[in-house]
């Protein structure tokens, strides 16, 4: 048992929202986890401290940049699996600093691939890509139905967007993540790396440091808790399929254990049509949870924003058996509860507790 668990799982970007949730899962299962992170996202050091407090020496931390070739190669050596999440994650920042965005997302991923290519037996790699690789879907006829946009095609609305959709990189961040996505697939084909790409939609849950630029579900909840105005860009009817982080962690776990079936392929991962919600619908849900409506300001559309993006995750389900289980209602309630708990903790009235968990449907 000890020997089997000895080689660490490497999580690049492991102090972030998704990385820290995955690290917690693996550490709880008895694996050693090596976190490789520059801590460049403000606040993620708290996630790392929480992991170390909960799991002690099962968590090993290397504070370094994904572009640091020497440190990265050292971290990859001997890993049993590699999950790559380190990224410049905000479209807005990519428009202000496209060179930095390219360096971290595209070049950084190439460094990860090169570090794996020189291993005698490269371990599985799971790469976090994004729905942004499909662009703004301007060519898909859309209509407004009540509080949300939806495709005019009832068939498309029923299934969501699948992997046959053509790539259309928009915004520097779409280009850098899209390039990384394609490099990972190519290294699987050209060099035989056991690598897979998950094109993720909107993920939300505990440990998410949501801001106006990324992580809108958490951001809206944080604003509501602080009695701050929520700014909605566009008409608020934009729709996303949201996926609670516990469901994503199940998918990541399956991606690793099913790597032989899915290597060299990209999959759309999200809550799917059954777990879609528009911005104004989320505001309604928040109003219910908090007992009053938050203040809202409306602004113009942001560059590259999709009016509708809902994944069709059925290819991943067929390959691995994975299915999302947590509804937006249950997940948003769980995140709201966790944020309340954090606020009490910061106010000094409660000890640090673990992330909220919700019952499975």
Ligand X SMILES: NC(=O)c1ccc[n+]([C@@H]2O[C@H](COP(=O)([O-])OP(=O)(O)OC[C@H]3O[C@@H](n4cnc5c(N)ncnc54)[C@H](O)[C@@H]3O)[C@@H](O)[C@H]2O)c1
Based on the shown chain and the rule CB under 6 A, indicate whether residue 85 belongs to the binding site for ligand X. Answer: yes
Based on the shown chain and the rule CB under 6 A, indicate whether residue 89 belongs to the binding site for ligand X. Answer: yes
Based on the shown chain and the rule CB under 6 A, indicate whether residue 218 belongs to the binding site for ligand X. Answer: no
Based on the shown chain and the rule CB under 6 A, indicate whether residue 13 belongs to the binding site for ligand X. Answer: yes
Alpha carbon distance 60, 34 (integer Å): 5
Based on the shown chain and the rule CB under 6 A, indicate whether residue 259 belongs to the binding site for ligand X. Answer: no
Using left for φ > 0, alpha for ψ between -120 and 50, and beta otherwise, residue 78 falls in left
Name which of 63 and 143 has its Cβ closer to ligand X: 63
Angle at 359 between CA 336 and CA 216, to 5 degrees: 30
Based on the shown chain and the rule CB under 6 A, indicate whether residue 24 belongs to the binding site for ligand X. Answer: no
Based on the shown chain and the rule CB under 6 A, indicate whether residue 86 belongs to the binding site for ligand X. Answer: yes
CB of 88 to ligand X, least distance (A): 6
Name which of 16 and 328 has its Cβ closer to ligand X: 16
- Indicate the SS3 state at residue 271: coil
Name which of 249 and 262 has its Cβ closer to ligand X: 249
Name which of 5 and 98 has its Cβ closer to ligand X: 98
Q: Could you identify the residue written with the tokens 């662009």?
A: 135
Name which of 16 and 294 has its Cβ closer to ligand X: 16
- Indicate the SS3 state at residue 312: coil
Based on the shown chain and the rule CB under 6 A, indicate whether residue 203 belongs to the binding site for ligand X. Answer: yes
Out of 39, 110, 303, 319, point to the residue binding ligand X (CB under 6 A): 39
Based on the shown chain and the rule CB under 6 A, indicate whether residue 225 belongs to the binding site for ligand X. Answer: no
Instruction: Give the side-chain half-sphere CA count within 13 A for 349.
Output: 6
Tokens of 195: 């690598």
Based on the shown chain and the rule CB under 6 A, indicate whether residue 108 belongs to the binding site for ligand X. Answer: yes
Q: Which helix (H) or strand (E) holds 138?
A: none
Of 325, 327, 337, which Cα lies nearest the Cα of 289?
337
Buried b (16+ CB within 10 A) or exposed e, 69-81: eebbbebbeebbb
Q: Which helix (H) or strand (E) holds 50?
A: helix 44-55
Out of 8, 16, 172, 205, point to the residue binding ligand X (CB under 6 A): 16
DSSP string, 1-36: -TTTTTSPEEEETTTSHHHHHHHHHHHHTT--EEEE
Q: Could you identify the residue written with the tokens 């008895």?
A: 30
Name which of 108 and 121 has its Cβ closer to ligand X: 108
Residues 113-172 that bind ligand X (CB under 6 A): 128, 130
Name which of 194 and 270 has its Cβ closer to ligand X: 270
Size of the site for ligand X (CB under 6 A): 28
Taking CB under 6 A as the binding criterion, the range among 61-69, 185-193, 318-326, 346-354 that sits at the site for ligand X is 61-69
Instruction: Give the side-chain half-sphere CA count within 13 A for 141.
Output: 4
Residue ranges that bind ligand X, judged by CB under 6 A: 13, 15-19, 37-41, 44, 65-67, 85-87, 89, 104, 108, 128, 130, 177, 200, 202-203, 215
């Amino acid at each position: 048992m000890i020997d089997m668990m000895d080689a660490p799982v490497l999580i690049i970007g492991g102090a972030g929202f998704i990385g820290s949730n995955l690290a917690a899962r693996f550490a709880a299962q008895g694996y050693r986890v090596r976190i490789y992170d520059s801590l460049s996202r403000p606040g993620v050091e708290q996630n790392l401290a929480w992991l170390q407090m909960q799991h002690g020496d099962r968590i090993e931390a290397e504070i370094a940049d994904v572009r640091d070739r020497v440190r990265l190669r050292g971290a990859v050596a001997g890993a049993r699996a590699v999950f790559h999440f380190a990224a410049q994650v905000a479209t807005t920042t990519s428009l202000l600093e496209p060179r930095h965005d390219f360096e971290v997302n595209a070049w950084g991923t190439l460094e990860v691939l090169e570090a794996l290519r020189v291993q005698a037996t490269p371990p599985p790699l799971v790469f976090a890509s994004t729905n942004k690789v499909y662009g703004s879907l301007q060519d898909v006829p859309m209509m407004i139905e009540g509080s949300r946009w939806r495709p005019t095609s009832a068939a498309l609305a029923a299934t969501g967007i699948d992997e046959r959709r053509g790539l259309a990189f928009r915004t520097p961040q779409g280009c850098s993540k899209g390039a990384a996505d394609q490099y990972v697939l190519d290294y699987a084909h050209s060099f035989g790396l056991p690598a897979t790409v998950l094109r993720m939609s909107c993920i939300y849950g505990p440990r998410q440091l949501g801001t106006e630029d990324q992580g809108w579900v958490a951001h809206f909840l944080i604003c509501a808790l602080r009695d701050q105005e929520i700014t909605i860009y566009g008409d608020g009817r934009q729709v996303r399929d949201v996926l609670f982080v516990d469901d994503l962690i199940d998918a990541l776990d399956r991606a690793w254990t099913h790597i032989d079936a899915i290597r060299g392929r990209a999959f759309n991962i999200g809550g799917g049509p059954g777990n879609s919600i528009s911005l104004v619908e989320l505001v309604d849900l928040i109003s219910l949870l908090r007992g009053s409506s938050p203040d809202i300001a409306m602004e113009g559309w942001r560059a590259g924003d999709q009016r509708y993006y809902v994944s069709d995750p059925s290819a991943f389900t067929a390959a691995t058996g994975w299915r999302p289980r947590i509804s937006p209602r249950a997940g948003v309630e769980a995140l709201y509860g966790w944020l309340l708990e954090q606020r009490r903790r910061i106010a000094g009235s409660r000890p640090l507790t673990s992330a909220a968990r919700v019952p499975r449907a």
